[in-house]
Structure 1
Amino acid sequence: MAMCPLCNALKTVEMTCPTCKARLEDSGKVSDFLDPYGHYNDEETVKMGDGYPNTAKDQICPHLMVCQECGYDEVKFIQET
């Protein structure tokens, strides 16, 4: 089974905000915001309900990247290893 390198603190991602050029911070998996109790489920169950049709098939983990300066946010798909 694949695992997300960001969720497991094996890697960090460096992104800048396209609006104000500040650094975007990783706010975690999108599914954590959709279902506050989702972390109690197994990963495959979470991926079936995360709103993205290919996360399980493509082995990607959607992370919410947020700018603390201007409030910009975007979802970054992280390839699992």
Structure 2
Amino acid sequence: MYSLCPLCNQFESTMITCPTCLHNMYDLGRVSDYFDDYSPYEDIDGLKKVDGYSADLEEHKCPHYFSCPICHKSEVFLIDEWLTQ
């Protein structure tokens, strides 16, 4: 069994409201993609072991950066992954 992030694979989109100004935030992708130049090409489960979010590997969640275009607040949200066989 393996898991897929619906946002990374563009199966879904999500609307997250900025807690500061209440505008829609933009999804900037997985947190691990920002580690270094080669991170987007590394094994996802391997990066989950070192990204600092214990829930992503154990609970099948994908940490994504979201940013507000109005007030520039950024925040990480854990997105539920889909389990497949």
Fold shared per TM-score above 0.5: yes
Q: What are the ranges of 5 or more consecutive residues in structure 1 without an aligned counterpart?
A: none
> Which deviations, in whole Å up to 9, do the C-alpha atoms of 1:55-81 show, x marking residues without a partner?
111111000110011111111101110
Q: Distance in 2 between matches of 1:48 and 1:36?
A: 18
Which residue number corresponds to residue 58 of structure 1? 59
Q: Which runs of 5+ in 2 are unaligned?
A: none
The 5-angstrom pairing of residues 39-54 of structure 1 reads: 39-54=40-55
Instruction: Provide the secondary structure at the position in 1 that maps to 2:56.
Output: coil
What is the rounded CA distance, in whole Å, between the counterparts of 2:32 and 2:75 in structure 1?
14
Q: For 1:36 and 1:47, how far apart are their aligned partners in 2? A: 17
Q: How many residues align?
A: 81
TM-score (norm 2): 0.87
- Structure 1 vs Structure 2 CA RMSD: 1.1
- State TM-score, norm by structure 1: 0.91
> Could you say which residue in structure 2 is the equivalent of 1:14?
15
Q: Residues 36-68 of structure 1, C-alpha deviation per residue, up to 9 Å, x if partnerless?
A: 311221111111111112311111100011001
Runs of 4+ in 1 over 4 A off after TM superposition: none
Counterpart in 1 of 2:75? 74
| Identical positions, percent | 40
Alignment correspondent of 2:38: 37
